[in-house]
Structure 1
Amino acid sequence: MLGTLAAGAVASGAIAATGCAPATTDDRSRDRSELLARELLGVDENGADLTLSYLKVLIDTGLPASAERKKIVVVGAGPAGLSAANLLADAGHQVTVLEANGSRTGGRVKTFRGVFTDPALYAEAGAMRLSSVHPMALALADKLGVRRRPFYSSDVLAETRTPPTPPVYYRSCTGEEWSNGPKQQYVPPPAAGRGLIRVNGTTVTRAEYTANPGAVHAGFGCRLTTSSSAALDTALRKAEVLQSESIERRVEGWTELLSAYENHSLRGYLMEQGWPKERIEAVGTLESVTARVRHSVIFPLVDHTMIPSDATYWELAGGMASLPDAMAKRLGPAILMSKRMTRLEQTDHGVRIWTTGETGDEASDGQPTGPAESFDADYAIVAIPLTAARFCTFDPPLSYDKRRAIIEMHHDAATKVLLEFKSRFWEQGPTGFRGGRCVTDAPNRSLYFPSHVEGSDGGVVLASYTFADEAMRWDSLTEGERIHFALAGMRELFGARVDSEFTGVGLTQSWVRARYALGEAAIPTPGQLHEHHIATRSVEGRVHFAGDHTSLNTAWIEGALESGVRAAIEIHRR
């Protein structure tokens, strides 16, 4: 639907060329802000709820049976490509999926399995949770029989019992309700407040920090008496008042916000709100946003407004890769592995995609395994990151706007270090806790603890999770050095016990150094959302584009699925 709106904007420009005064830069910026606002809210120009319609297509009805069987090639077997391929195949089209990776599907949804000393353990190298405000991902997991469990963003008592998993519920902006079961109220367990914060040489529990946040902030020279999360929430929930307004009023409100702050970094925005540098440093450290303060403020505004403070989160039993695994299983031999696209040619009559075969996966050196191959189709969906498309040739060349988006759109760095332990010692004793995270100003920055472990006495800790420049510093180290320094950071928090409990198995994941991702999510710098986002999803002849980078739910599986449904509908209707 955004493509239709964009076409309207082009038509307006054509009218101006006949003699009317040309649109000013401010007019064009506002038009683009409204396009982005409608996409953000999932509503078209007629007020219809696109999220609801996509949800029904993905979960309930699928696409209508096709009167014309099209031959379609999908490039990329992440959630976006797999969801589009399944919808199109179920509608009767001939679908082939080309995946560069030789060992797995899923893209940046990657679960480490079978690599720990305890075979019952697994850990997430990529996406690790689903949000309650993302109905498509939750409902698709339910539909495919992938069991959901609570993901505890805040630590809970170690003896906490897992509450029943509620059905998925979505209320449309039109008032229509959708659910895949009887509506139930889900009450998450209370936070234990036992997770640790270590900054400026001082260690406190979450509960101690909540009781006296000013004492911790003083170490930064900051006079702030509320918690860092409350302070950031207050600063960023600019559009919260709009949540109870009509959908068109919300569109207007978001249009104003996007126009006003499109060129603001998070740091610049907070300074404009009157934040001194000491508060930015304190909150940035405690909320793990220091590395991204120079990025656009738009996505922090979106996250803090569109995701309510009482949102709940979910993980998938067996690992997050269980979802793309289930989607891939339905496609079977239609997925061709070790086929990396190198060239895409198109004419008025069809598309030809050239690939090279490679060994291994995104961490290997990618040695060729055979001659180049070509695949012909009526249409193609390119569902690989812009960073990967940068190294593909398009003939004829893509539009100027699309090329600039591929060249310029910023993709962040993200790096994880995971360590296996013989026992879950952090759950033991009177200070024990489960799930949640610890925060430190040591290089580790954020540490996440497993919410659930079945069939094992041990556990795998995400001992370091970093972004942007902080991640790049970890990327410069060897694998062994990353494990060494992550263990050292845990030792600062939990003492020498971590050494005797460590099994010797540590794994790391750098998404910048992953050959088929070439970065984490598309996280725009100031101005880039307005400059490039619409072009990321525009149709180029017979070629359509999908991936979470083409959605405003970037970095979420929900955004990838949303884009896959959109691209499938676009091709099915041609």
Structure 2
Amino acid sequence: MGNPFGAGLGHAVPVVTICRSALRGSHKPTPPCRNLDESRLYAATGKGIGEPPELRDHATSTYVISVGAKRSNTAQVIDQRADNSGGFLMDRRQFLQLSSMAALSLYTSPLRGLQTGGSPARQGPAKKVMILGAGISGLAAGLELLQAGHDVTILEAQLRPGGRVYTLRAPFSDGLYAEAGAGRIPITHTLTLDYVKRFKLELDPFFPQSGADVFLWRGQRQVVPHGHDPDLTHLNVNLTTEERAVGFGGLAKKYLGPLQDKARALPAEAWPLPSLAAWGNISLGDYLRQQRASPDAILYLSQGFESDSLLDFVHDSVSHSVPMLWKIRGGNDRLPHAMADALRDNIRYGAVVERIAQTPTNVEVTYTNAGSHHRLLADGMICTLPFTVLRDIEVRPQWSTNKAFAIQNAYLSPVTRAYAQTKTRFWEADGRNGFATVDQPMEVWSPTYNQPGKRGIVMSYTYEDLAREYSSMSEEAQVQRSLDLFEQIHPGMRDNFEGATTWSWLNHPFSKGAFMVTKPGQFRTVVPYLATPEGRIHFAGEHASPWSGWIQGALHSGVRAAREIARGTA
């Protein structure tokens, strides 16, 4: 779920995972890219003040940086921080929190044999393999197959690698950057961390290690010391007497603790767990209402994902929740750029797939590149395209009935992000770290807390219905609405405002959504068929793994699909 893109693809809470937001953002009047990568920065006047160069320039060895003493020192600080985690800011979605060991034990099986460093066993002669998409899963598959001696060609529609792992840089001043896609790496995602180590990248804690957060609820603002609940006596909250007694920090345990305990006690099986099938037929919101949770409790816990299946939430809670989240120093897309640099002769950028056809002996793709039509034949294929994109591509012969249903009905959550650049990080002067919790389905981050310079960035990360609404707005309207919110959180924002930009994964033509979310009933009708091969076509992507919405899911599925082909199952 995320963290996706996502997908994960975290909420505005230090030292806590946040479910599906890992891949976890432009609107229709201004597309998210000049056919591909473009973002526009709006000045205080509302006028665009520039367009960034192609990010392909960043796919160089300059992204490969050394791991040194700083990383060890940081890790030590974070470990100490994790030991002291607690309180409201950690507990906002406590039902998504487990110990690191509990999360690891549940997902040990899918990771066995998938760590980097070993090559997949090849059976028979080398194969010619095409991969659709140079996102994380496509790159992971390409590296595996290339290492095993196969002939690999990756077709990527954009002019950059990474897919929904994408860092915005050019719109901002002084070398500042912020994530448009995947934002966090849980400490338990060992496969992701193995790739980070393999490409000699450094990590920083995702959340600031000091400073207070802001809690904004129904127009009332509190500055809350880290690790503390807001003072409910001074907030207009619609909670029951019992809910007030436990506070926001106790809501997760009250309503979802028993489900966590039951799921945690089960053996490590591949999801979905048959014994929990009933949870897949009810939404999170309906379950909470059955438990007589108040509207504010539901809003606080679900953060816009009320229609998500209960099993999907429990799934995340027992597999993705950790006391520590990381980000890659310099931007998370340094990982896909480093991976792509090792595959530079195997990637065709600007290749937009129009048709897929297979016979008993090969697979053929028709694609366009710079206005010209091309054909590519291969022995097998790995398709990493989001199903929201794949469903619009002609395929012959037609998918099997179950696969076609999964492709047509897989749901990617809409996500938008709005970024405001400020002259200074004025909030830090008052002891605030820039992060906030609000009464809307969104998170508020300050990604520049550990970046050099005096300027800062405050950004919103919006989910589901609110994200869909934002995606339909003009960029100027979205910026103004975001600034209104940021001003409530950090008074003085408009006085310090220099410019803004937005991102919408829903409006991006090559994603049409941010990360996979499972709806009630789909653990029976969709999930079992996400990763199943169709003849010579194999499938990868965050949606086709136990870690939907996270970089780990993309990596895991890419390696898995590559090894299916390498072992002769194509």
What SS does structure 2 have at the residue aligned with 1:205? Answer: strand
Partner of 1:3: none
Q: Is the 8 A contact 1:416 1:508 kept in 2?
A: yes
* Uncovered stretches (5+) of structure 2, i.e. residues with no partner: 1-103
Give the 4+ runs in structure 1 shifted more than 6 A: none
**Counterparts in 2 of 1:325-404, with a 5 A limit?**
325-357=337-369, 369-404=370-405
Q: How many Å apart are 1:105 and its aligned residue?
A: 1.1
Q: Is the 8 A contact 1:99 1:337 kept in 2?
A: yes
**Counterparts in 2 of 1:14-53, with a 5 A limit?**
41-42=106-107, 49-53=109-113
Q: How many Å apart are 1:317 and its aligned residue?
A: 1.0
Size of the alignment, in residue pairs? 464
Separation in 2, partners of 1:217, 1:295: 28
Q: How many Å apart are 1:572 and its aligned residue?
A: 0.2
Distance 1:142 1:242, change over 3 A: farther
Over residues 457-497 of structure 1, what are the superposed CA-to-partner deviations in whole Å (9 max), with x where a residue is unaligned?
A: 112211x21111110111111111111111111111222x2
Partner of 2:496: 501
Q: How many Å apart are 1:405 and its aligned residue?
A: 0.6
Partner of 2:167: 111
Q: How many Å apart are 1:240 and its aligned residue?
A: 4.5
**Residue identity opposite 2:484 in structure 1:** A
Q: Is the 8 A contact 2:410 2:516 kept in 1?
A: yes
Q: Is the 8 A contact 2:308 2:518 kept in 1?
A: yes
Q: Is the 8 A contact 2:264 2:318 kept in 1?
A: no
Q: Is the 8 A contact 2:107 2:319 kept in 1?
A: no
Q: How many Å apart are 1:568 and its aligned residue?
A: 0.6
Instruction: Establish whether residue 301 from structure 1 lines up as the match of residue 314 from structure 2.
Output: yes
What SS does structure 2 have at the residue aligned with 1:306? Answer: coil
Partner of 2:438: 440
**Residue identity opposite 1:73 in structure 2:** M
**Residue identity opposite 2:470 in structure 1:** W
**Residue identity opposite 2:353 in structure 1:** M
Q: Is the 8 A contact 1:420 1:502 kept in 2?
A: yes
Q: How many Å apart are 1:298 and its aligned residue?
A: 1.7
Partner of 2:474: 478
Q: How many Å apart are 1:65 and its aligned residue?
A: 5.6
**Counterparts in 2 of 1:486-497, with a 5 A limit?**
486-495=482-491, 497=492
Q: Which has the larger radius of gyration?
A: 1
Distance 1:254 1:384, change over 3 A: closer
1:320 to 332, 336, 340: 332
* Uncovered stretches (5+) of structure 1, i.e. residues with no partner: 1-38, 44-48, 158-191, 358-368
Separation in 2, partners of 1:339, 1:373: 9
Q: How many Å apart are 1:237 and its aligned residue?
A: 3.9
Separation in 2, partners of 1:208, 1:453: 17
Q: How many Å apart are 1:374 and its aligned residue?
A: 0.6
Highest relative contact order (Cα 8 Å, sep 6+), 1 or 2? 2
1:557 to 551, 554, 565: 551
Q: Is the 8 A contact 1:415 1:475 kept in 2?
A: yes
Distance 1:345 1:134, change over 3 A: same
Q: Is the 8 A contact 2:186 2:325 kept in 1?
A: yes
Instruction: Establish whether residue 275 from structure 1 lines up as the match of residue 292 from structure 2.
Output: yes
**Counterparts in 2 of 1:404-553, with a 5 A limit?**
404-429=405-430, 432-434=431-433, 437-441=435-439, 445-450=442-447, 452-462=449-459, 464-495=460-491, 497-504=492-499, 506-553=500-547
Q: Is the 8 A contact 1:238 1:305 kept in 2?
A: no
Distance 1:334 1:40, change over 3 A: farther
Q: Is the 8 A contact 1:356 1:373 kept in 2?
A: yes
**Residue identity opposite 1:500 in structure 2:** D
Distance 1:434 1:127, change over 3 A: same
Partner of 2:180: 125
What SS does structure 1 have at the residue aligned with 2:134? Answer: coil
Moved more, 121-130 or 292-301: 292-301
1:142 to 197, 202, 211: 197
Distance 1:414 1:233, change over 3 A: farther
Separation in 2, partners of 1:344, 1:563: 21
Q: What TM-score comes out, normalization by structure 1 length?
A: 0.76
**Residue identity opposite 2:411 in structure 1:** H
Over residues 314-354 of structure 1, what are the superposed CA-to-partner deviations in whole Å (9 max), with x where a residue is unaligned?
A: 00011011011011000012100011111111111111111
User: Percent of aligned pairs with the same residue?
Assistant: 28
Partner of 1:255: 273
Q: Is the 8 A contact 1:238 1:301 kept in 2?
A: no
Q: Is the 8 A contact 1:100 1:516 kept in 2?
A: yes
Q: How many Å apart are 1:271 and its aligned residue?
A: 2.4
Separation in 2, partners of 1:144, 1:490: 37
What SS does structure 1 have at the residue aligned with 2:237? Answer: helix
Q: What TM-score comes out, normalization by structure 2 length?
A: 0.77
Q: How many Å apart are 1:259 and its aligned residue?
A: 1.4
Distance 1:542 1:208, change over 3 A: closer
What SS does structure 1 have at the residue aligned with 2:375? Answer: strand
Over residues 260-279 of structure 1, what are the superposed CA-to-partner deviations in whole Å (9 max), with x where a residue is unaligned?
A: 2110100112123x233x2x
Separation in 1, partners of 2:537, 2:561: 10
Q: Is the 8 A contact 1:286 1:439 kept in 2?
A: no
**Counterparts in 2 of 1:86-105, with a 5 A limit?**
86-102=143-159, 104-105=160-161
